[in-house]
């Protein structure tokens, strides 16, 4: 689920041209230097999930450690980013499907929107069917996607028509155009990695969710990082400078260069599967976040309703589906698919950097009383999550001056819209705004007796709880 959430093939297809346009040959470096602090955020999620299993994830953790208003805005940022992705992901899914049938049809934005909406509705029904059905679908979609990508990595290694020799400077700072150029590249890289945190939103539905969710996120980040680095280095080696122009699909160009004729088609299949898979995980994230908000009465209580048969937040899923379909219709009138995706990617990057940064700070605050107990605790629980948080928040503020007006307006405007429901439900007295403070020292001390019971292997010991959807 974490790998599918980051959607390696889709992310490369949607952002490689944007990333190369922002930083040129430094694309591998942008991903590397974003991955290091991103690992701090992964550690923060794992540690916070251990002491507070909650479908809202950062929405709950930030609210219980920093301030409820910041917690709500963290959850709202995810909701807005995920909703934007319904368009940024579904339109390419439709476009890629059409390109497999007839490449001439792929440039028709309206038709791509219609086919993409069809894919979206299929994924909506899968998510409605429950977490187990969703996970089984991901095993198929993401398994095939990763197999195709691995074959192409091998193909690039064996490829003889290199446009350039590998250069270690691609992993350094020399190719960045100053601080603002680095920030722009890091913002796109943050969007590339976004999605692994779906495991946090699934923690209430996961067996041993206190530990499994965090481990899944860590393993997912490792896999997608290796894939991203391999393919961005391959783009620099195989494709000549100037080949990857704005709006171009670098992944398809790479496929045609490595395996002429069939390579581009195979990678189109991989990107299509990746796009459909990440639509599913994004739906999981946004609907579980809205479920948690409805349950806490910080959004309409109906969003917290659970279907009796499927055990899924069916009202939240229905609402997200309706809003997304309206956005599909609006997006098809705004321009080409490439233009829509490019603006949405930058806006989503802002929102992701915002709530990731707050989650990193929340982890340090929650574990503040345990940080000096050991060097390992200080490094993994304090220094690294704080580094990730500072980096993400720096990228957020630094990018505001570097991005276009449309991207900033979409990102900040979407975030500001959350002030309305926040003020409304705060005044109505939601208990979310009077939180029980999250303190790791107390939570871990209370967890110890529970662990002792479950480590008992006697036949009459408490047996392992089955995974449930709430």
Identify the CA nearest to 400 among candidates 355, 347, 359: 347
Distance CA 373, CA 360 (A): 20
- The CATH number covering residue 401 comes to 1.20.1740.10
In a domain? residue 469: no
389 vs 41: CA distance, rounded Å: 7
> Residue 359, CB half-sphere, CA atoms under 13 Å: how many?
32
The angle that helices 68-101 and 314-331 make with each other, rounded to 10 degrees, is: 60
Contact status, residue 20 vs residue 27, Cβ threshold 8 Å:
yes
* Pairwise CA distance, residues 199 & 168, whole Å: 34
In a domain, 465, yes or no: no
Q: Which residue has the tokens 């701090």?
A: 40
Q: Is 458 left (phi over 0), alpha (psi -120 to 50) or beta?
A: beta
CA dist 339 and 404 (Å) reads 12
Residue 460 falls inside a structural domain: no
Asked if residue 304 is part of any domain, the answer here is: yes
Residue 251 structure tokens: 């992944």
Structure-token pair, residue 11: 């992310």
Give 383's DSSP letter. I
pLDDT confidence of residue 458: 40
Distance CA 253, CA 243 (A): 8
pLDDT by 10s per residue, the chain, length 470: 999 988 888 888 877 877 887 787 888 998 998 899 999 999 999 999 999 999 999 999 999 999 999 999 999 999 999 888 877 777 778 888 888 887 777 777 778 778 888 888 998 999 988 888 888 888 899 999 999 999 888 888 887 666 677 888 888 887 787 777 787 788 788 878 988 999 999 999 888 888 999 999 999 999 999 999 998 888 888 877 667 766 667 777 887 788 877 777 888 888 888 888 888 898 999 999 999 999 999 999 999 999 888 888 999 999 998 988 887 777 666 655 556 666 677 788 889 889 999 999 999 999 999 999 999 999 999 999 999 999 999 888 887 876 777 788 888 899 999 999 999 999 998 899 998 888 888 887 776 554 444 444 444 433 333 334 43
Query: Does residue 466 lie within any of the structural domains?
Result: no
Residue 463 belongs to some domain of the structure: no
**Residue 164 has what DSSP assignment?**
S
H-run or E-run covering 363? helix 337-366
129 exposure class (CB count in 10 Å sphere: 0-12, 13-18, 19+): middle
Domain assignment of residue 428, given as a range: 2-454
| Assigned domain for 459 exists | no
Q: What is the pLDDT of residue 162?
A: 65
Stated pTM of the model: 0.85
pLDDT at 76: 96
- Residue 261 inside a domain? The answer is yes
Read off the DSSP letter of residue 436: P
For 5, residues 6+ apart whose C-beta sits below 8 A from its C-beta are: 194, 195, 196, 197, 198, 199, 220, 278, 281, 282, 285
CA distance linking residue 356 with residue 339, whole number of Å: 26
With a CB cutoff of 8 Å and minimum separation 6, the contacts of 262 are: none
- Provide the pLDDT for residue 261: 74
Residue carrying the six token digits 């690992």? 39
Number of domains making up the chain: 1
Residue 53: how many other CB atoms lie within 10 Å = 17
Tokens representing 77 are 């940022």
Q: Do the beta carbons of residue 137 and residue 145 sit within 8 Å? A: no
Q: Do residues 362 and 41 touch, judged by C-beta distance below 8 A?
A: no
């Amino acid at each position: 689920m974490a790998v599918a959430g980051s959607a390696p093939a889709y992310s490369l297809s949607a952002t490689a041209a944007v990333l190369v346009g922002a930083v040129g040959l430094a694309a591998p470096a942008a991903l590397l230097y974003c991955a290091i602090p991103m690992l701090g955020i992964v550690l923060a999620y794992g540690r916070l999930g251990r002491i507070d299993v909650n479908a809202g994830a950062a929405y709950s953790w930030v609210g219980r450690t920093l301030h409820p208003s910041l917690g709500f805005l963290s959850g709202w940022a995810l909701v807005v980013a995920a909703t934007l992705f319904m368009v940024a992901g579904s339109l390419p899914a439709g476009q890629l499907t059409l390109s497999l049938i007839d490449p001439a049809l792929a440039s028709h934005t309206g038709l791509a929107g219609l086919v993409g909406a069809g894919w979206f509705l299929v994924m909506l029904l899968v998510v409605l069917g429950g977490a187990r059905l969703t996970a089984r679908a991901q095993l198929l979609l993401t398994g095939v996607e990763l197999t195709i990508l691995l074959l192409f990595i091998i193909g690039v290694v064996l490829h003889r028509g290199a446009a350039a020799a590998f250069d270690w400077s691609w992993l350094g700072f020399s190719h960045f155009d100053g601080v603002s150029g680095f920030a722009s590249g890091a913002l796109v890289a943050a969007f590339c990695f976004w999605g692994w945190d779906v495991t946090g939103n699934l923690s209430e539905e996961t067996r041993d969710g206190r530990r499994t969710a965090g481990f899944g996120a860590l393993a997912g980040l490792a896999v997608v990082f290796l894939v991203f680095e391999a393919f961005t280095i391959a783009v620099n080696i195989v494709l000549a400078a100037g080949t990857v122009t704005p709006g171009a699909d670098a992944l398809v160009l790479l496929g045609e260069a490595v395996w002429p004729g069939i390579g581009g088609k195979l990678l189109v299949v991989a990107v299509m599967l990746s796009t459909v898979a990440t639509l599913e995980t994004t739906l999981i994230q946004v609907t579980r976040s809205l479920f948690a908000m409805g349950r806490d009465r910080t959004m309409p209580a109906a969003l917290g309703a659970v279907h009796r048969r499927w055990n899924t937040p069916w009202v939240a899923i229905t609402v997200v589906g309706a809003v997304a379909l309206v956005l599909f219709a609006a997006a098809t009138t705004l321009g080409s698919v490439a233009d829509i995706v490019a603006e949405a990617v930058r806006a989503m990057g802002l929102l992701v950097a915002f709530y990731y940064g707050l989650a990193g700070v929340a982890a340090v605050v929650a574990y503040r009383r345990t940080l000096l107990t050991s060097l390992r605790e200080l490094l993994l629980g304090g220094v690294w999550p704080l580094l990730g948080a500072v980096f993400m928040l720096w990228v957020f503020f630094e990018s505001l001056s570097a991005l276009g007006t449309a991207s900033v307006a979409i990102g900040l405007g979407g975030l500001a819209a959350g002030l309305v429901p926040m003020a409304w439900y705060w005044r109505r007295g939601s208990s979310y705004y009077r939180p029980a403070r999250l303190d790791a020292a107390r939570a871990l001390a209370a967890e110890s007796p529970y662990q002792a019971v479950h480590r008992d292997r006697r036949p009459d010991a408490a047996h392992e709880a089955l995974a449930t959807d709430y």
